Structure formats: structure tokens, C-alpha cells
Structure 1
Amino acid sequence: MNRGFALFDTVIGVCGIAWSERGVTCVQLPDGDRGRTVERLLRVVPGTPEGVPPAAVRGAVAGVVRQLRGEPGGLASVELDMSGVPAFGRRVYETVRAVPAGESVTYAAVAERMGRPEAARAVGRALARNPFALVVPCHRVVPAGGRTGGAGGAWAGGGVTTRPGLRALESAARTAAAGGAAAGGPAAGGAGQGPGQGAGYGYGFDPGTAVAYLRASDPGLAAVMDRTGPFAMPLNAAASVFAALAEAIVHQQLSTKAAATIHGRLRGLFPGAGGLSAEHVLGADDELLRSAGLSRPKVASLRDLAHRVDTGMLPELEAIREMEDEAVVACLSSVRGIGRWTAQMFLMFRLGRPDVLPVDDLGLRHGFSIAFGGTAPAGVEEIEKRGALWRPFRSVACWYLWEALEEARRGPSS
């Protein structure tokens, strides 16, 4: 196994991994952008060239990706090259690797397990230099008294808030695996299937796990969640990609009531059990479609959508469900009248995707400002910066911010 490093995508951003012939030498969490992540990684393993990971390292990468999704990562078997770590640090890391997922221990407890009860501070210093983020799960080690503690080593880019978030993820996953109270059940303040969902079709994540993660990662958002109550983002299952996007086109720039009326008229033009279809639109003339109340641009958009569906340019719904978020956005945005925002709403409210952040949504920007004490709609950069705390559950955070806006519009309850 030659020396090298590589970058890889995860739900919290681009991570880095480095290796030698003895094993993994560093796992680096995101540090804002790819360049800074590489820079921080190379501080640990200077002079390491970029390369193609061998099979064992690819297995470690897969484990890290799973771990950050809240799934069992299988990182206990990853071989580490600790040749550059002092003997005491190696003992600390080996001891911490034995702490099960979903549990936490104090620095003093680690020192006790090592037979060095007087060395709690030294344990903390060693973990602050931990170059093996997640593989050596120092997020499971906490200061006495529940203090947050510092973040260093490969964790520095990920931020201290990532640690409690990961503990919350692991705890929720462990509870679910043990058959305890369902993470999305009432005890966790979560939700199961949303209104309008078909059988077997629900969120692409566990709501209770998401709520627990967000509470741990962002105390400010947790206060908003307390005021709002249980997560209840509705999902609206679609019979097809065409049906979902046709409804989205009709609703653009209209009030909910007006759009619902026009959409109902449009469907009424083509009665039958199958509902509105691409064939209906392609077979109708413009006058018939406009009689439902559609504008000329919307008729043009519906025709383009129908043409793309009819010719197979747009994938079927089941195929789209298998695509990554950005691939879905690019695919749907090829349709006339469908932009990034509409595609993101499709991801959230049709597919139940967990990590969508529609920063251009004016309602979200207002809700963010209300939630966090701003005086004007928040800017894109401000939302993206704080949104980094919410990954991989930014959709859930957005729902709570929209709810904060609705609560403000309703005013004080009587």
C-alpha cells in the first residue's frame, strides 16, 4: 500500500483520507472547501501525494460515509498507521476505539480504563490531536460535567458541534436497532409517514434521528424546535414525474387557492382514473389548455414537460428516486419553467430527501431571521454557514424555519 491521500464526498461535505503501506494515517473532516481540507490534512501527513485509494482504504471511506449518514460504519476493523503517534497516544486511541457507538465516556473514564487514573488531562490532549476522525471516535469522549470541550486534530474543520450531533445520531440508531421507542415516534417528537403518502413511501430518513441530531448540533435551532413542536413536514406522493411537475408549473407565482382552482380545472378537462398525463397535454390545443386559466408561458412549459416525458428525456419516478440530489436538480431544471427552487421542493416534499437547503427561498430567509434574531431577510452566505451545522438534515431545519415564519405571521395566540 503506497502513501497517498484522496478526497471523498459525504453528507457533511468533502472529507479527506491519507494512507501508507501500514494503514490509514489520517481522516480529515471538511474544512469549508476542498483546498482547506487538503491543507489541514497535509499538516498531519506532509509531503503525501494525491493518489487512488487501495481496496482497504476504499473500505474505510465507505465506512466513514455510512457513519456520517447515521448508519453503522464498520470502522472498528480499519487498520491505522500509528507509527507517528507517541506510545501514550496510541494507548488512548486504542482505548477509545473500544467505546461502543451510542455511548459516551469522560476523559477520566478513559484514563481509568488505561490504568492511568491521574492522566485525564493527558488523555484530553491526546484526543485533541487525534488525526483519525471517526475511526478513533473521540466524539464519544466528553469532559466531566457535560461541558462541550475543544475540537482539534482532524476534527478542527468539522467543528465542535459535529461531535454532539454524531453522538445523537449514534444514540438514535442504537435505540432503533435495540427495538426501543421508535426514533420517529411520539416519544422522540418525530413523525412517521406524512399526509398523502402512498403505502411504503415515506421520508428518506428517520425523523426522530434528524431531530435529535439538530438539537445536539445547534442549540439555537433547538429553541425554535421547542416552540414549534413535533416535526410534521407533509409529503405529497406523486403518481408520476409528469403529474408532480405539472402541478408545480401550475402553482408558480399564484396563491395556493388560485393555483388549486386552476389545477383542478386542468385535470377536469381530462376525466378518467389515470389522471392528467403527458398524452393529454400533447393531444390538446392551446385554447383548451388556456380555458383552465393557464397563461401562455405555463402552457408552453407544460408542453415542454409533456414532450420530455413522452420521448423518455425525463426518467421515470422510480429512476429519479435512485439519483443523487444534484443530479435530480439538473435533470428537472432542463424542463422549461422548472428552476432550481422547484426542483428542490420536489426533492423535499415529493421524495422526502433529508439534506436540501433552498437558500434562495424568501420564506426561508425570513424564517431564519425571525428564528435567530435578524432584522432583515438573512443572506445566502449566512444561511449556508449556519446550515453547515445541520447537515445531513437541512431539510428538517428548513421546515422548522418555515414554521417559525408562519408562527410570526399568525401573531401571538389568544
Structure 2
Amino acid sequence: MKPTAYYIFETALGPCGIAWCEGERPAVTSFQLPDIDARATEERIARETGGRPSNPPPAIAAIVERVRRHFEGYPEDFRDVEVDLDGVGPFARQVYAAARAIPAGKTATYGEIAETLARPGAARAVGYALGKNPIPLIIPCHRVVAAGGKPGGFSAPGGLTTKSRMLAVEGVAWGLPPTLKSAQDLRRAAAKLKSQDPRLADWLSQPLSFKPNTEHSPYTGLFSAIVHQQLTPKAAAAILSRVKALFPGATFPEPGELLGTPDHVLKSAGLSQPKINALKDLASKTLDGTVPTAEIIVALNDDEIVRRLSSIRGVGRWTVEMLLIFNLGRTDVFPVDDYALRKGIAKVFGMPEVPSPKKALALGDAWQPYRTVASLYLWNVVNAEIF
């Protein structure tokens, strides 16, 4: 077995990892797209390659710099990068060669790859091979989509969100709604918003940190939101902790477990009957697919998410909009029913009274498609007054 080394490095997309077989002509054996942090990225690439950490030799260091440049928005062509596919079968090698022929800024479907290989009807086999791709980006499986422009799959950390962001870097507006994932995303959106409405300029220059909590699935995010309704954060946290204690070994109760739990048991943890009803409706609608999985929700537009989730008992539009902003990081959400948001508008625009939701909505038309960013800064105005 060839000795393998790996290196972890930061990019605009997050911490990546690259592995290579050591020797006079090091070839890339594995590439790791960003996991939740550098440690998780390293653990994954170490586990998958069995390699050791090392500083990269000049040839690999040059690839690292090209990857960084690529993720900064200057697309690179990696077809010249030498890869080592030892252990990969002949069909997968053909699929990977076809994928490498797709230039940045373009996509192909699984079926089109199959046709290229003179294997019509092998679209599923193409998808399976790409799902096992050990060198994403350099073998650009993110450029292969399902028929009709549908997302298809993506097995790298971050799933379809990562796939969408990689395509966005290459100028392909595909698949998923834009999101705020980092402080850099927020700054870029704020800069564009300043040019759209100079009246916000001073407020958009104030320091603000924001990072969506992507750890929650739609089910767990709404579970927590329902428990917190009409309670102080401290009281809600205490009740949520007691509810979780009813289901040892689980971070949150599974939908089926929750439905099978008698109401009086849930009441003993401090839940009111209306909240029990809402949580059980949430569980039921999760099992029947109304509440999408974390993998599916990223591909749904905001209106579809609002339509689905507001059908849950006790879940209104405002609750869904908070999930869109603080869990999914959607860029153009404007929760005008939020009093604090409208109070911020009154402060910024010198209004004698807090505007109605209808008036606020009309004012926010000028802020599309960055109304989430405007909302975050308007809330910040109110928070600054409080503290």
C-alpha cells in the first residue's frame, strides 16, 4: 500500500483537506470538502485515507493555492491535476473522466454522462459512482445534476448546500436558494444593501455577528420553538430539559416516540396541553413528510416552507420565518409581524409611530433580495437601545 499524507487548510468555503501518495511525483488520492470545523475535516480524511498529517510538497502546495483561489470566486481548471485512483474500477474511472471534462460554469445530468459513456440507461450507476468519488472538486461531481435541473444527491459534508455553494462559486445559479453562511456572506450582502438604500448605510456599518444554527433539523428546530412560545428563555430551557429527560439517550424524542407518549407524562415535564397538541401534530406531520428532512428543506423555496410548516398546529408564519433566518440562513425573509423589527424601522427612519406590518412590508420592497440582512440590522438597532 502506498504511503499517504494529508494536509488541512482554510478556504473561503471552510476547512478542506487534501491527501496524496508520497513519492517523486505525488498524486492526489483524496480531497475533503469542509466539515463543521477543521478538526472534523481532519478526522474524516485521516479515517478515509489512513494517512499522516504533513506539510505539502511543492506540487501539492500549488494545488492548495489553486483551490483557495477557486473558492474565492476565481474558477480554476483542475483537469491537469494528477490523481491516483488505485482500487477504483474501470466504469467509475470512465465516469470520473467524463465528469472532469465538464468545465467550470457548466453542468451535465447523470443521463448525459451515461450517454457519453455509450451506456444509455446507466444513469443510476453513474450516480452511484459519483457518490463514491474520493476526490470531489478536482473530480467535479458537483457539476452533475439530475434530469430537469433537480438537485440529485451529494454525499460530501453539507450535502446539497455545499453542492449549491460550489456551483455558485463557478457562476451557476442552481438548485438552492441563496443563504447566509458566514460573516463574509453577511458583509457582502450588507454592502449591496447599502447601495440599494443609502438611508440604511450608517446602520449597516454597525458591528454585527450572525451565523445560522444549522445543527437543528426542521423537526428539532420547530420542537424547540414550540416549547419556547410565550415563555422566558430560562423557563423554556428548563421545560425542554425535562422533556428531553423523558427520552434517555436521545437529543430530542423521535417523532414516533413522542406520539406514543401519554399526554400526562408530557404534562409532568411542564408542557401545557396546547403545546402537547402542537408537538404531536409536528411529530405526525414529520412522519407523513409534510415537515421536510434537513436534506430536503434546503432545496425548497421560502414560500413552500412557510406553506408546509404553518400547517402545523400552533406554528404561525412568524415561527417559520425565524427558522428560515436563524436555522437556514435564507437571505430574503422579512418578518413584518415582529414588533421589534418594526420598532427598528421607526428608529432608523425617524417615524413618530411604529409602522404597521403592511407599511413595513411596502418599505422593505426596496431591500429585496436582502431583507433578512436588513432585518438583522434593524433588530440590532433595537438591541443597542436596550443594552
TM-score scaled to structure 1, two decimals?
Answer: 0.48
Query: Hey, what's the Cα distance between the residues in 1 that align with 2:204 and 2:256?
Result: 45
SS in 2 for 1:323: coil
Task: Look up the match of 2:257.
Answer: 280
Task: Look up the match of 2:330.
Answer: 353
Of the candidates 221, 232, 239, which is equivalent to residue 262 of structure 1?
239
Of the candidates 354, 379, 398, which is equivalent to residue 375 of structure 2?
398
Residue 305, structure 1, aligned to residue 295, structure 2? no
SS in 2 for 1:206: helix
Query: Hey, what's the Cα distance between the residues in 2 that align with 1:263 and 1:217?
Result: 42
Measured at CA, do residues 290 and 205 of structure 1 come closer, stay the same or move farther in structure 2, by a change above 3 Å? farther
After TM superposition, the structure 1 = structure 2 runs for residues 159-198 of structure 1, keeping only pairs within 5 Å, are none
Aligned letter for 2:198?
P
Residue 225, structure 1, aligned to residue 204, structure 2? yes
CA contact (8 A) 1:204 1:354 kept: no
Aligned letter for 1:303?
K
CA contact (8 A) 1:204 1:353 kept: no
Percent same amino acid among aligned pairs? 40
C-alpha displacement of 1:296: 0.6
Deviations 1:248-286 (A, max 9, x none): 111111112211221121112112145322122112111
Query: Hey, what's the Cα distance between the residues in 1 that align with 2:357 and 2:337?
Result: 7
Of the candidates 192, 202, 208, which is equivalent to residue 187 of structure 2?
208
Residue 251, structure 1, aligned to residue 238, structure 2? no
Aligned letter for 2:338?
D
Q: Which runs of 5+ in 1 are unaligned?
A: 1-70, 73-175, 178-192, 195-201
Query: Hey, what's the Cα distance between the residues in 2 that align with 1:213 and 1:247?
Result: 33
Deviations 1:269-313 (A, max 9, x none): 112145322122112111111112111100000111111112333
Task: Look up the match of 1:383.
Answer: 360
Deviations 1:183-207 (A, max 9, x none): xxxxxxxxxx99xxxxxxx369922
C-alpha displacement of 1:387: 1.0
Deviations 1:331-350 (A, max 9, x none): 10111111111111111111
Deviations 1:12-34 (A, max 9, x none): xxxxxxxxxxxxxxxxxxxxxxx
Of the candidates 301, 305, 325, which is equivalent to residue 302 of structure 2?
325
Measured at CA, do residues 351 and 205 of structure 1 come closer, stay the same or move farther in structure 2, by a change above 3 Å? farther
Stretch deviating more after TM superposition (259-268 or 246-255)? 259-268
Measured at CA, do residues 205 and 350 of structure 1 come closer, stay the same or move farther in structure 2, by a change above 3 Å? farther
Task: Look up the match of 2:346.
Answer: 369
Residue 342, structure 1, aligned to residue 294, structure 2? no
Deviations 1:320-368 (A, max 9, x none): 1101100100010111111111111111111100000011111111111
Aligned letter for 1:324?
N
After TM superposition, the structure 1 = structure 2 runs for residues 17-56 of structure 1, keeping only pairs within 5 Å, are none
CA contact (8 A) 1:243 1:277 kept: no
Aligned letter for 2:379?
W
Query: Hey, what's the Cα distance between the residues in 2 that align with 1:273 and 1:304?
Result: 20
Deviations 1:153-196 (A, max 9, x none): xxxxxxxxxxxxxxxxxxxxxxx88xxxxxxxxxxxxxxx99xx
TM-score scaled to structure 2, two decimals?
Answer: 0.52
Deviations 1:84-140 (A, max 9, x none): xxxxxxxxxxxxxxxxxxxxxxxxxxxxxxxxxxxxxxxxxxxxxxxxxxxxxxxxx
Q: Which runs of 5+ in 2 are unaligned?
A: 1-72, 75-168, 171-178
TM-align CA RMSD: 2.6
CA contact (8 A) 1:282 1:307 kept: yes
C-alpha displacement of 1:381: 3.1
Superposition misfits of 4+ residues, deviation over 6 angstroms: none
Measured at CA, do residues 261 and 355 of structure 1 come closer, stay the same or move farther in structure 2, by a change above 3 Å? same
CA contact (8 A) 2:244 2:250 kept: no
Query: Hey, what's the Cα distance between the residues in 2 that align with 1:302 and 1:255?
Result: 19
